[in-house]
Amino acid sequence: MTEFELLVRQQARSKKIPMAEVARRSRLSRQSLYNICNCTSHPKLQTFVDLAHALDISPMVLLEAYLQSADKEEQP
């Protein structure tokens, strides 16, 4: 599990929002949300904004966590 996924799940849990609802509020399919959380897709900036809005956190916090997680996933 990536640090980004942990952040998303912790935020969703603290707001008592199921991941399926986070995906819906972010205008994503559940599979797309999981792919983003696992850093196997490269979302647009607007996706981070939508996801941040759904989780009621700063888009910059999400973007930073994603970039750190994606960097770790790419390293051998």
Report pLDDT for 58.
97
Q: What pLDDT, on a 0 to 100 scale, did the predictor assign at position 76? A: 61
What's the Cα-to-Cα distance from 52 to each of 25, 42, 58, 74, rounded to whole Å?
10, 16, 6, 24
pLDDT value of position 20: 97
- pLDDT tens per residue, the chain (76 residues)? 899 999 999 999 999 999 999 999 999 999 999 999 999 998 999 999 999 999 999 999 999 999 999 888 766 6
CATH code of the domain covering residue 49 = 1.10.260.40
**Domain membership of residue 36 as a residue range:** 3-74
Q: Into how many domains does the chain fold?
A: 1
Alpha-carbon torsion, ordered 37, 48, 30, 27, to 10 deg: 180
CA 9 – CA 15 distance, rounded (Å):
10
Which pLDDT score is estimated for 75?
67
Angle, CA of 56, 62 and 18, to the nearest 5°: 50
